Structure 1
Amino acid sequence: MSTTPLLHLQHLQKNFGHFRALKDVTFDVYPGEVFGFIGPNGAGKSTTIRILLGLIRASGGTATLFGRPVWQDSVQIHQRLAYVPGDVYLWPNLTGGEIIDLLLRMNDQAHTTQTDTLIHQFGLDPTKKARTYSKGNRQKVALIAALSQEADFYIFDEPTSGLDPLNERLFQAAVLALKKRGKAVLLSSHILSEVERMCDRIGIIREGQIIETGSLAAMRHLTRTTVTVTLGDDFDVTTLPGLHAVTPGHAACEWQFSVDADSLAATMTTLAEHHITALQSTPPTLEDLFMHYYAKE
């Protein structure tokens, strides 16, 4: 992966009157990387994205794409950018196919065999007028247009809103294909399983501030592994340090508990001395990590 980021945000701030929508947003996105941008509604995700697109001006801090300031050089930046919003509004009297071609032409791109393949894969009828489309079909139009483009940076803001599970999987496969081609992707999503499946790194935003960035593997120290174990004797696991929510299982000598990451190795070593006959371990998920920060609200 390149050591020079395509997107660089440093202490980004945005005020709407006396309200501080963004207090301190700092992260980078590199070529060949899918970066997950997560947080609840109102945390500042869409405000950050609108600044990146040059739609609103930051109140402070630095925001550059391809080394260019996003507000001053938005026209040049948009030539290398593809974007899909969470709520897509289309020209009601144009067909889906006409809108896809229009969006491509507006970015000096052409309708290709890749466009036709995407239309077929997503199951879109391009001959219907946009006013007849459901939310999911409107979303497909924007996704097909974006994924047909030859861009360097792709921004997806809640892109699978309204899509069925099959189309969600098609989108995920398309994003991973972009990654293999060295493209950079910023994915804002509230579907944590989607982020967990696709993203190399994630940034968690809370009340206008980035509170943690890094790979999911690096962040697992913030959460606990859930363990169900059956021992060969009647050892009392409640005597072990670093365990939480310890409860006896349904079978004899069975225990269920969660364990801190820094206590996991010592716990397993001690349990092994008592003849483990069955063991099930569930690593922490992105949802666990997310709740680690938001359960305090």
Structure 2
Amino acid sequence: MVQVLEIHNLTKRFGKFQALLHLNLTIKEGEIFGYIGPNGAGKSTTIKTILGLLKPTEGSVTLFGQDAFKQPVNIHQHIAYVPGDVNLWPNLTGGEVIDFLLSLQTHVNHARKQELIERFELDIRKKCSAYSKGNRQKVALVTALSIDAELYIFDEPTAGLDPLMEKVFQEYVRDCKARGKTVLLSSHILSEVEQLCDRVGIIRKGKMVEVGTLEEMRHLTRMRFTVETAQPLQDVEQQTGIHDLSKQENVYRFQVDSDQVGEVIQYLSRFHVKKLESQPPTLEDLFLRHYGEEIKEGD
């Protein structure tokens, strides 16, 4: 598969502050890659470096086989980008901003532009000074998704959008993939990443701590079990692999290490099980695996 984006040993320092440290990442053609981490983890710094807006302290960034800092003009002809906080010209209308930005592009789908304006319910006659944050995001999303780019980069793109508009965005991201395009989606909305992305990267304090498909990463955490039995479970606290046990009458809720699921099922079979529900770990579980201690500490 063709590599659209290759980041090698990327390091970025702002004075004594280290924003990124030896970051390595590859994104393949036609995939949706989710990039997650809390505020300050280095997501936006990574994206700004990819776009050539920041020069790395060390390392390299290659897009479509070209150096991101030596051939930015060629590269940017094939990229559409939406930041997490969109600033627009206050005295222009939303429609004027969209038309101006699209006039700078060579591959524009005007029919899709009209469709996007309607689907996002954007009033393009209003001046941008009257727009809410969500409407400013809509202007950027309509513009970016109207471009037939090879790589779409979204940095917290649904900030300020209501749930219905988030679903519209997700629909168009899937359409990008169906057309063979590549998407880099940075988001703190874990359910959004989980629904859309083929692979996920978790960044923590400027370091990439986990990369893979959800299936590849799910073995790193625990299954959730809900069990109802006719009689109490005996010695359940002593069973290997069972964690975070809670009980209400004869209904037990707990987590199970993925490599111990078989043994736990065998243990439960000794009792009269009336109901058994299991859920695979979610992306949020994977996220908490890396940040759980900090969250508990209130960081």
Q: In the aligned structure 1, how far is the partner of 2:125 from the partner of 2:29? A: 36
Equivalent position of 2:292 in the other structure: 295
Partners of 2:138 and 2:40 in 1: how far apart?
A: 25
Counterpart of 2:66 in structure 1: which amino acid?
Answer: R
Amino acid at match of 2:267: T
CA shift, 1:284, in A, is 1.5
CA distance in 1, matches of 2:79, 2:247: 55
Match of 1:47 in 2: 45
Match of 2:177 in 1: 179
- C-alpha separation in 2, matches of 1:221 and 1:11: 27
Residues paired across the two proteins, number: 293
**Aligned residues: percent identity?**
51
After superposition, what is the alpha-carbon deviation per residue over 1:42-82, rounded to whole angstroms, capped at 9, x for unaligned?
11111110011111111111210101111111111000000
TM-score by length of 2: 0.94
- Residue in 1 that maps onto 2:156: 158
Q: SS state of the match for residue 135, structure 2?
A: helix
- The answer to whether the Cα contact below 8 Å between 1:104 and 1:111 also exists between their aligned partners in 2 is no
2:123 and 2:129 map into 1 onto residues whose CA distance is 13
Task: Report deviation, 1:249.
Answer: 2.9
Q: Could you tell me how far apart the structure 2 residues matched to 1:235 and 1:96 are?
A: 62
Report how far residue 120 of structure 1 moved: 0.5
Q: Distance in 2 between matches of 1:174 and 1:241?
A: 45
- List runs of 5+ in structure 1 lacking aligned partners: none
The answer as to 2:117 corresponding to 1:129 is no
Secondary structure of residue in 1 paired with 2:266? helix
- Contact 2:223–2:255 (CA under 8 A) maintained in structure 1: yes
Aligned to 2:10: 12
CA deviation string 1:170-227 (max 9, x = no partner): 0000001101111110000011111111111110111110000001121112221121
- In structure 2, the gaps of 5 or more residues are 295-299
Candidates 252, 255, 259, aligned match of 2:252: 255
Counterpart pick for 1:208 among 195, 206, 209: 206
Any idea what SS the aligned residue of 1:6 has? Answer: strand
1:245 Cα offset (Å): 2.1
User: What's the secondary structure of 1:137's corresponding residue?
Assistant: helix
Contact 2:153 2:183 in 1 (8 A): yes
Comparing 103-112 and 158-167, the one that deviates more: 103-112
Counterpart-to-counterpart distance in 1, 2:141 and 2:232: 57
Paired with 2:246 and 2:195, the residues of 1 have a C-alpha distance of 31
Counterpart of 1:243 in structure 2 is 242
Cα distance, 1:109–1:130 mapped onto 2, change above 3 Å? farther
Alpha-carbon distance in 1 for matches of 2:245, 2:110: 58
Match of 1:226 in 2: 224
Within 2, Cα distance between the matches of 1:292 and 1:272?
A: 30
